[in-house]
């Protein structure tokens, strides 16, 4: 599937990967290598203090992290980018 992705273009892949970064750092490193991106979430992302909601990108994020919410077991993960034109919005 990744062979169809043009990794020279802006790329953001995010979601609940169910791979705890704190316990499986080598798996995350391998995913980063395959995607040619870096994983930018470093905070815990669940109420059980795991980091499984990840964001991989080849863009420079100006801010990123997770925010506790009371509506889900998962925290809200976010990333902000300096230049929205890079993402094709402008």
Phi, psi of 87 (to 5 degrees): -85, 0
Q: pLDDT at position 4, please?
A: 72
Digit-coded pLDDT (tens) for 3-38: 677 777 888 899 999 888 878 878 889 989 988 899
Going from N- to C-terminal start, the domains of the chain cover 12-85
What strands, in cross-sheet order, belong to the sheet with 12-16? 12-16, 53-57, 38-39
Q: What is the mean pLDDT of residues 43-69?
A: 91
Question: pTM of the predicted model, to two decimals?
Answer: 0.82
Q: pLDDT at position 21, please?
A: 84
Q: pLDDT at position 11, please?
A: 86
In the chain, pLDDT over 70 holds for what percent of residues?
A: 88
């Amino acid at each position: 599937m990744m062979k169809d992705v043009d990794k020279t273009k802006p790329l953001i892949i995010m979601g609940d990967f169910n791979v705890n970064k704190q316990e499986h750092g080598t798996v995350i490193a391998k995913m980063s290598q395959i995607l040619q991106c870096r994983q930018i979430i470093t905070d815990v992302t669940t109420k059980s203090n795991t980091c499984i909601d990840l964001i991989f990108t080849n863009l420079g994020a100006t801010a990123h992290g997770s925010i506790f919410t009371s509506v889900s077991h998962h925290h809200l993960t976010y990333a902000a980018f300096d230049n929205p034109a890079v993402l094709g919005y402008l």
